[in-house]
Every structure is written in structure tokens, then in C-alpha cells.
């Protein structure tokens, strides 16, 4: 341990004849009873005078004391680096001046004290300012350069003010006798020595504790589980499916013709009725008495004429449904010429109004005729009872004018042309919707299969509720499974009929439900995740099966305790063991750490 003291300034009067007077530092080192083994050495000379004298001694028995006494302030001008190094390494700073040398004091205050403050740079080093000597009451100097000094002595208030600027302790030593040296100056200096030693001991203890803490055995760090595969949803192609149905004209059951019957445009009653109350009236889905809008009845009668005959042929059992489409005569020739564009608009979801406007404008090239046709379309699509809304309707609001959809015809016999028999129950449906939305059913109803010419179609390998959910998706493009098991059943049905988007929706539902399940519920649930994994693999749901394997590995501590864990194949078990969380390495490190902590506690108990 050591204490470094740096002293600046000359305590001798510049006009004193006694240049052999001992310095303050040497007087203290020579008289203090705490000091022993004093040694001194001079530094390199500066303008004929030593820059500083270094004293080394022992204090408090075994504490090394290093004192560097620098009587010349010029060191700040000639060697700024050395002066900063001295102050930076100091534990205590002593500044000395003679009370009878006002010129030196003024130079110290104006020139060197700012340098000392800059070198300290807000360091909390204690500073002692010592005013040495007895003030002489001589006649003040009368030369012009000294007229501002009313006397040659430095006053006590000036010394105190200087101490305040540095945050220093101010001492007045009238003479360098035993009282002022040992008890007064020595007492203050030794107090700061003890404070410095205590601070160093405290810092050393903190450093030792920090070192011991850094060498202490740390608990193992549990890494995060591997990120599970991200399953992305598939964009809807509902409107595109219906539009393709119009292009291929499969299962068409209505043909629009001009009055001369020269051409025909085929369509599907189920699609037309799903977007328009007027077509419901035209094809008998609604009666005129239930229309609630006389203008719509009048428009239907003035615009269309259905060919005589039953618009809804009821097929007796065993009779093939291969009947000719119902002919509808379009009385308005201008409207009839634009009918293909209007049907494309309806089959595309009835929301591309701007495109319809452009197509009709290009075809007719007559603003009046164009406005006439567009108003007819608005009237066809509008909701009954909203007469005033048609003329003021903006193009982006056209979709709000009708509120029907294919959902109205889901699981109803209205316009149905096929009946599914499943688990002893019957489910009516519409071939046009099935063919548009499902490629497997399109091949089944249009190929050389028995179902192509049958009204009653049996369904095997799936429950009625699951098949109804499947049909609901085909009609509405949405599904809401009630549970994970129902979602898996629907996924199997979607895979059987190759409806990939529905399969992905079911996968996402299962993953979302499992991710939101708390660990406690996951440990107590009767749901077999391994069984879900087997089904997902069997039905080619690669994304779900991969995710389920990661899910089992991530929750290894839960699933490894369940009997179903033994049902995993060797390949699956190896994958789970490789990706398990927490890993075997972490568990081993944790066991070693617990053993270490236990052994430390046992040692402390013995001690």
C-alpha cells in the first residue's frame, strides 16, 4: 500500500534573506513520529533549480509514502505533460505560498490555479492550501505597478476565497514550529492519508470480490428452442374458380338468347341467383308476391322472357340429369349484346365495376346506350326496396347493392341437381358449384364415371358433419372447425378431394390451437399428438407433420412421459432426440451445477 503526495509552491518570501529555512514538507517528514526511513532525491534541473524533490518514507509502519515537492510553478508552462502526470497520480495535493509575497500569490491565482483545476478534471483528490508565515506590517510600496495592492501581505479572506475555488482545505501556518507542523498541518494531512488508504482498501476489496465472482461457477445457460417451420397460408381463388366455370360452361343450365334466337350465352342459375334477386324471380326461387319490390318484377318481365316449360325439372330417381338448359329470351337487344361482359362481371365477384364500364363503353361507343345498360345492371344487382340508391350509386359502392351469396343455397334443395348420401342422411348440392371449386368433383361429374349420370351419389370414409363442413367451404370459401380433431377430419376430407387451400387452412388451425395450449393443459390433455402426426403423414400433409415433430421435440419433457411417445418410429425418435429441448447437454450441465452448489453449502455448514 502507498500514499502519493504532490506539493506545489514556495513557502519562502521572495525578499527573505533566510534562504536556508527548511521547507514545509521536509519539516513535517523530519518531525512527525509516524514517519520513518526517509530518503530524498532531486529531479533534473530546470533553469538552474531542481524541478521537484522526491521524498520516500514509511508511515503507519508499513505504508509507503511518496512525496514530490515542486517549488517552481514554471513546470506548468515548460512541461505540461509532467505536471498533469504528477497531479493525476496524486492522492493528496498541497499548495503552499508565503503570506508576505503578494506578487507570487497573484500570479498563482491568475495563472496556475486554472491549470491545476484543468489537470484535476473533476477528480475527487483532496487539496490542502497552506498560507505560511507571519504577516509583516511594513510600509506599502508606492511604485505605479503596485498601487492596486493596499498592502504587501496576502489576507486571510483572499486565501479562503482561493480555497473555495478549488474546494480545498485552508490552513494558516504562522511559523514552522512543532505545533503548526505536527498537530495542525500534520493532523490534517494524516487524516487525508487515512481516507485515501481506506478508499484504496475498499476499491481493492470490490475488485477482489468481482474477480472471485467472475471465477465462480455460473449456472448453465438455457438456449432458446429451435424455431418451428412457418406455415404460410394460400391466397383465395374463389372468384377465379367461378369465373373459370363461366369460361368452360360445364353444368350450364340456362341459355340467354336474343329474340331471333340466333346466338346463345350459357350460364348457371345458382350463380345468377346468388347475386341477384331479379334472377331469383326469373327462375322461380322467389314468387312475385315475396319480391317486396314491384319495380324489380316489372324489370324482370320487360327484360327477360323464360321459355315455356318447368324451370326446375324434378328428376325422378334413376333419370340422368342431362337436360337441356332453360332458354331465356333477352328482349333488350342492346343489353343482350353486352350480356357476355355482364356475365363475366357477375362471375368475377361483381366488384370490378370500373372494368365493366370500360368494356361496355368500348363495345357500344354511345354514351346514352352505355348509361342505359349500366343502369339495367345496377337494377339487376340492387337489393329490393332501395330504389333511390341506384341512380346515385358510385362505381365503388356497387357491391353493396346486393346481399345474396352462395351461402343462401348451401345445404338446401333449391336449384339442387345432385344429392349426396352419407351415413344414412342426404345432403343436396349443386353440380356447378362443386365442379367450379373442386377438380376431383369436376372430373367425377364430367368424366366417364357413374356419378356423371346419377342424381344420388354415395360418400364413404367421412362423417356427415365433416362433409358438410367441406361443402360449406366450397360454397363460402371459409370454414370454422370446432376442435383440433374436427380440423384433422376436415383436412383428411380436403386431401381426399384435393382441395389444397382448405387443407392448409386446417393445418394452420391445428398449429394455432396447439401453440396457444398452456404446458399444464398439454400435459393433461387426452389428445394424442403422435396420432395427429401419423394421420398428417399418411394424408401427405408434410408441413403439418414436420411442425408436429418439432412441437414434440420442443416439449420433450412433457411428451416423453406419455405412453404415446413409444409409438414414434425409430426415424421420428431420432429426430426428436436430436432436436429436443432442453438438450441433454444442458441437463448434464444443470446437474453438475446443482452438485457444485450442494457441495459448497455442505462446506459452509462444516465451517
pLDDT in tens, 483-536: 999 999 999 999 999 999 999 999 999 999 999 999 999 999 999 999 999 999
Q: What's the confidence (pLDDT) of residue 135? A: 82
Mean pLDDT over 164-190 rounds to 86
Q: What's the confidence (pLDDT) of residue 311? A: 43
| Residue 392 in this model has a pLDDT that exceeds 60 | no
Q: What's the confidence (pLDDT) of residue 400? A: 46
**Distance between CA atoms of residues 8 and 51, nearest Å:** 11
Return the H-helix or E-strand segment holding 552: helix 542-554
| Residue 394 in this model has a pLDDT that exceeds 60 | no
How far, in Å, are 5, 35, 184, 193, 265 from residue 127 at the CA level?
Answer: 10, 21, 15, 12, 106
Mean per-residue pLDDT over the chain, rounded: 83
**Which has more pLDDT, 597 or 121?**
597
Is the distance from CB of 575 to CB of 552 less than 8 angstroms? no
Tell me how crowded residue 593 is: count the other CB atoms within 10 A of its CB.
Answer: 14
Mean pLDDT over 277-284 rounds to 91
Quick one: cell of 516?
Answer: 396457444
Structure confidence by residue, pLDDT tens digits, 408-467: 999 999 999 999 999 999 999 999 999 999 999 999 988 778 888 889 999 999 999 999
Strand stretches in 117-260, DSSP E: 127-132, 169-173, 254-257
Chain region(s) in the chain for CATH 3.40.50.300: 2-136+152-203
Specify the range with the lowest mean pLDDT, choosing from 281-295, 333-347, 399-413, 462-476. 399-413
Of all residues in the chain, the percent with pLDDT exceeding 70 is: 85
Specify the range with the lowest mean pLDDT, choosing from 58-72, 309-323, 508-522, 542-556. 309-323
| Residue 96 in this model has a pLDDT that exceeds 70 | yes
Structure confidence by residue, pLDDT tens digits, 231-258: 677 888 998 999 999 988 888 999 999 9
Fold classification of 2-136+152-203 (topology level): Rossmann fold (3.40.50)
Contacts of 80 (CB under 8 A, 6+ apart): 115
pTM of the model: 0.62
Bond into 203 cis (ω within 30): no
Q: What's the confidence (pLDDT) of residue 28? A: 84
| Backbone torsion region of residue 153, taken as left when φ is above 0, otherwise alpha when ψ lies between -120 and 50, otherwise beta | beta
How far, in Å, are 165, 500, 550, 580, 581 from residue 227 at the CA level?
Answer: 63, 25, 8, 12, 11
Task: Find which of 38-47, 108-117, 387-396, 535-544 is predicted with most confidence, using mean pLDDT.
Answer: 535-544
How far, in Å, are 234, 321, 420, 467 from residue 480 at the CA level?
Answer: 16, 33, 22, 13
- Options 2.70.50, 3.30.710, 3.40.50, 1.20.120; which CATH number does 249-308+323-383 get? 3.30.710
Reported as a pLDDT band with limits 50, 70 and 90, residue 575 is very high
Q: What's the confidence (pLDDT) of residue 214? A: 57
Mean pLDDT over 175-196 rounds to 86
Mean pLDDT over 28-44 rounds to 70
Chain region(s) in the chain for CATH 3.30.710: 249-308+323-383
Amino acid at each position: 500500500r502507498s500514499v502519493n503526495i504532490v506539493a506545489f509552491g514556495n513557502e519562502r518570501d521572495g525578499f527573505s534573506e533566510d534562504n536556508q529555512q527548511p521547507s514545509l514538507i521536509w519539516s513535517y517528514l523530519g518531525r512527525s513520529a509516524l514517519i520513518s526511513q526517509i530518503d530524498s532525491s532531486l529531479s533534473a534541473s530546470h533553469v538552474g533549480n531542481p524541478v521537484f524533490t522526491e521524498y520516500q518514507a514509511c508511515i503507519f509502519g508499513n505504508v509507503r509514502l511518496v512525496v514530490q515537492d515542486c517549488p517552481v510553478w514554471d513546470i506548468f508552462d515548460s512541461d505540461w505533460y509532467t505536471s498533469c502526470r504528477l497531479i493525476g497520480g496524486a492522492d493528496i495535493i498541497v499548495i503552499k505560498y508565503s503570506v508576505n509575497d503578494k506578487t507570487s500569490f497573484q500570479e498563482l491565482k491568475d495563472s496556475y490555479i486554472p491549470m491545476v483545476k484543468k489537470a484535476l478534471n473533476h477528480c475527487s483528490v483532496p487539496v490542502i492550501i497552506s498560507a505560511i508565515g507571519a504577516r509583516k506590517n511594513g510600509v506599502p510600496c508606492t511604485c505605479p505597478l503596485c498601487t492596486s495592492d493596499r498592502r504587501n501581505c496576502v489576507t486571510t479572506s483572499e486565501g479562503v476565497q482561493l480555497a473555495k475555488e478549488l474546494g480545498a482545505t485552508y490552513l494558516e501556518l504562522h511559523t514552522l514550529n512543532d505545533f503548526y507542523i505536527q498537530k495542525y498541518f500534520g493532523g490534517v494531512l494524516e487524516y487525508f492519508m487515512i481516507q485515501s488508504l481506506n478508499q484504496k482498501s475498499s476499491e481493492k476489496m470490490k475488485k477482489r470480490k468481482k474477480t472471485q465472482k467472475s471465477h465462480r461457477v455460473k449456472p448453465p445457460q438455457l438456449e432458446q428452442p429451435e424455431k418451428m417451420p412457418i406455415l404460410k397460408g394460400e391466397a383465395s381463388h374463389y372468384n377465379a374458380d367461378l369465373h373459370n366455370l363461366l369460361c368452360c360452361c360445364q353444368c350450364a343450365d340456362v341459355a340467354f338468347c336474343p329474340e331471333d334466337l340466333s346466338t346463345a350465352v350459357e350460364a348457371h342459375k345458382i350463380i345468377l341467383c346468388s347475386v341477384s334477386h331479379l334472377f331469383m324471380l326469373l327462375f322461380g326461387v322467389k314468387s312475385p308476391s315475396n319480391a317486396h319490390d314491384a319495380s324489380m318484377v316489372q324489370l324482370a318481365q320487360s327484360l327477360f322472357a323464360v321459355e315455356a316449360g318447368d324451370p326446375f325439372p324434378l328428376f325422378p330417381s334413376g333419370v340422368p340429369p342431362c337436360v337441356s338448359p332453360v332458354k331465356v329470351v333477352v328482349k333488350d337487344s342492346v343489353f343482350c349484346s353486352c350480356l357476355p361482359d355482364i356475365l363475366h362481371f357477375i362471375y368475377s365477384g361483381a366488384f370490378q365495376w370500373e372494368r365493366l364500364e370500360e368494356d361496355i363503353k368500348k363495345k357500344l361507343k354511345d354514351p346514352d346506350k352505355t348509361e342505359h345498360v349500366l343502369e339495367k345492371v345496377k337494377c339487376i344487382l340492387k337489393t329490393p326496396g332501395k330504389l333511390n340508391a341506384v341512380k346515385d350509386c358510385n362505381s365503388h359502392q356497387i357491391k353493396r347493392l346486393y346481399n345474396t351469396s352462395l351461402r343462401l343455397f348451401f345445404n338446401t334443395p333449391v336449384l339442387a341437381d345432385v344429392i349426396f348420401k352419407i351415413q344414412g342422411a342426404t345432403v343436396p348440392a349443386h353440380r356447378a358449384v362443386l365442379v367450379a371449386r373442386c377438380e376431383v368433383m369436376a372430373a367425377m361429374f364430367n368424366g366417364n364415371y357413374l356419378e356423371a349420370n346419377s342424381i344420388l351419389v354415395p360418400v364413404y370414409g367421412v362423417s356427415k358433419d365433416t362433409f358438410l363442413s367441406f361443402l360449406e367451404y366450397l360454397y363460402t370459401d371459409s370454414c370454422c372447425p370446432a376442435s383440433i380433431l374436427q380440423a384433422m377430419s376436415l383436412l383428411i376430407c380436403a386431401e381426399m378431394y384435393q382441395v389444397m387451400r382448405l387443407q392448409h387452412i386446417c393445418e394452420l388451425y391445428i398449429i394455432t390451437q396447439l401453440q396457444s395450449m398452456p404446458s399444464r393443459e398439454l400435459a393433461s390433455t387426452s389428445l394424442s399428438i403422435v396420432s395427429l402426426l401419423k394421420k398428417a403423414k399418411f394424408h401427405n400433409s408434410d408441413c403439418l407433420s414436420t411442425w408436429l415433430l418439432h412441437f414434440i421435440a420442443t416439449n420433450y419433457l412433457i411428451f416423453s412421459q406419455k405412453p404415446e411417445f413409444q409409438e414414434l418410429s425409430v426415424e421420428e425418435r431420432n429426430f426428436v432426440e436430436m432436436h429436443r429441448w432442453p438438450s441433454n447437454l444442458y441437463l448434464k450441465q444443470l446437474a453438475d451445477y446443482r452438485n457444485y452448489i450442494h457441495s459448497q453449502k455442505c462446506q459452509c455448514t462444516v465451517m
